């Protein structure tokens, strides 16, 4: 038995499903999750000493590669002054200015400790600001595990077959309306059927929790217009795509300004950080400036802020993201060529350094239903073949993949060599 298997069996005794977050389990692909010992650059090493080229990157934060010296040094240096104070610090001001400067639609920002807290708080704020209760989200989008957002959710909820979680009271879920991603008519219908009731529309501007689906032309612009027409707050959940598709995030890439933005992952450089922010007129409703309550013992934690600032500062380096985009393009093109060579029905999506792989006859995937109908069995075989060859992809067909600044020609060659052999056996 491998050490991972041994640890997995022991962990099942004291941790539900042996993991502290369901997506880490291999329920969607079968088998035993790999227990990690350490990580460096584009690789991690498991407890049995095997190295993997990592395309999960801790589910997004590791855009600079694992164990980046600038971030590690920022953490070590900050830790010498104490770990948490529960009182304001200068680094919080520096970090807030940095975020608002990089994302100009954000006049003000509040730091939290996870993406879940960010979206949950942004929704409460939108409801408090508008005095309305209903929200619109999109089937297959995941915004963390707050009750009102675990309705037809993506990511692990979808992988485990419980997109609407038991434990969410029907009285809460009834305020959550779900539309189809990339389908403006489905949103318009909901708004018309619920006049003056919709507080907010929350969307991942690039869907990354139902595999990877970019917005079709006009979709985000259309949401902006519909929100303006119906007095609803537009929230872009950029927890995943924020800073990954450009320093200004998806809203800069597509040139559409939301009212509120939620952030996480890259924002903390690997430490637990989330944030929400946006127009001052809305943010001023937040306690203690206004009446909508939101709080956190460790919010704005000095170690996390220093790690996050180091992460954001790296993104400011000239042309920093270009090599990641080039790598991602070469990766998906290479995989497509190999799939074609071995006559495996397959297509890909990518934006910036996010990508999605689909085992399907469809030429282009733009809708949730196409993802759900793609060949899950093929994905599982592909996943395990790649894992065996030392290439770590997300253990689910409903997750985006990520490239980091540490991926290079060598990791690309390893990946494509492995894929050539795995596709040949599908
Ligand atoms: C788009 C999006 N929003 C919110 C979340 C929730 O963030 P967290 O897991 O940090 O709570 C995630 C990922 O988990 C995400 O991908
Ligand atoms: N795309 C899925 C996530 O980012 C979630 C990570 C987690 O729940 O551990």
- State in Å: Cα 282 to ligand 1 middle: 22
264 lines ligand 1 (CB under 6 A): yes
Query: What's residue 157's pLDDT?
Result: 87
242 lines ligand 1 (CB under 6 A): no
Please state the φ and ψ torsions of residue 357, each to the nearest 5 degrees. -120, 130
Among all bound ligands, the one having the nearest atom to the CA of 275 is 1
**Range(s) for CATH 3.90.1150.10 in the chain?**
3-67+319-424
Query: What's residue 287's pLDDT?
Result: 98
Cα separation, 61 vs 140, whole angstroms: 21
268 lines ligand 2 (CB under 6 A): no
CATH architecture designation of domain 69-315: 3-Layer(aba) Sandwich (3.40)
Our CA dihedral for 222, 227, 228, 234, rounded to 10 degrees, sits at: -100
Query: What's residue 164's pLDDT?
Result: 85
Query: What's residue 163's pLDDT?
Result: 85
Query: What's residue 21's pLDDT?
Result: 97
Cα separation, 345 vs 362, whole angstroms: 8
209 lines ligand 2 (CB under 6 A): yes
Cα separation, 128 vs 133, whole angstroms: 9
Cα separation, 323 vs 315, whole angstroms: 12
Span 3-67+319-424: which CATH code? 3.90.1150.10
pTM of the model: 0.98
- Mapped onto helix, strand or coil, the DSSP state of residue 343 is coil
Among all bound ligands, the one having the nearest atom to the CA of 262 is 1
Low-confidence ranges of the chain (pLDDT < 50): none
Count of CB atoms within 10 A of residue 84's CB? 13
Q: Please choose from 59, 111, 119, 398 the residue to mutate so as to test ligand 1's pocket, defined by most ligand atoms within 8 A of CB.
A: 119
**Sheet of 391-392: strands edge to edge?**
36-40, 43-46, 51-54, 391-392
**Range(s) for CATH 3.40.640.10 in the chain?**
69-315
Query: What's residue 161's pLDDT?
Result: 84
């Amino acid at each position: 038995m491998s050490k991972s298997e041994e640890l997995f069996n022991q962990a099942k005794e004291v941790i539900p499903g042996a993991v502290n977050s369901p997506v880490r389990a291999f329920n969607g692909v079968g088998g035993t999750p790999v227990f990690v010992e350490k990580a460096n650059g584009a690789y991690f090493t498991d407890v049995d000493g095997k190295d993997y080229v990592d395309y999960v990157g801790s589910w997004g934060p590791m855009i600079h590669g694992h164990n980046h010296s600038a971030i590690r040094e920022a953490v070590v240096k900050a830790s010498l002054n104490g770990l948490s104070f529960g009182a304001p610090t200068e680094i919080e001001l520096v970090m807030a200015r940095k975020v608002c400067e990089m994302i100009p639609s954000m006049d003000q920002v509040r730091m939290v400790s996870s993406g879940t807290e960010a979206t949950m708080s942004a929704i409460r704020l939108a409801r408090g600001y508008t005095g309305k209760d209903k929200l619109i989200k999109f089937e297959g989008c995941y915004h963390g595990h707050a009750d009102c957002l675990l309705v037809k959710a993506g990511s692990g909820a979808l992988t485990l077959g419980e997109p609407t979680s038991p434990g969410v009271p029907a009285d809460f879920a009834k305020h959550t309306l779900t539309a189809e991603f990339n389908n403006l008519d489905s949103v318009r219908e909901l708004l018309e059927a619920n006049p003056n009731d919709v507080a907010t529309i929350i969307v991942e501007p690039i869907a990354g929790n139902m595999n990877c689906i970019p917005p079709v032309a006009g979709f985000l612009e259309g949401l902006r217009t519909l929100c303006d027409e119906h007095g609803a707050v537009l929230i872009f959940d950029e927890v995943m795509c924020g800073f990954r598709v450009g320093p200004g995030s998806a809203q800069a890439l597509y040139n559409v300004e939301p009212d509120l933005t939620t952030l996480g992952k890259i924002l903390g450089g690997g430490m637990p950080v989330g944030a929400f922010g946006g127009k001052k007129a809305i943010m001023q409703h937040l306690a203690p400036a206004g009446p909508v309550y939101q709080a956190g013992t460790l919010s704005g934690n000095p170690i996390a802020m220093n790690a996050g600032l180091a992460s954001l500062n790296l993104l400011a380096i000239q042309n920093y993201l270009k090599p990641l985009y080039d790598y991602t393009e070469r990766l998906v093109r290479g995989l497509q060529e190999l799939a074609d060579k071995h006559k495996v029905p397959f297509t890909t999506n990518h934006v910036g350094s996010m990508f999605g792989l689909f085992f399907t006859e469809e030429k282009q995937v733009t809708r949730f239903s196409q993802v759900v109908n793609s060949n899950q069995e093929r994905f599982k075989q592909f996943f395990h073949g790649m894992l065996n060859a030392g290439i770590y992809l997300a253990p689910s067909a409903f997750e985006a993949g990520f490239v980091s600044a540490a991926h290079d020609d060598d990791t690309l060659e390893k990946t494509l060599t492995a894929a050539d052999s795995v596709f040949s056996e599908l």
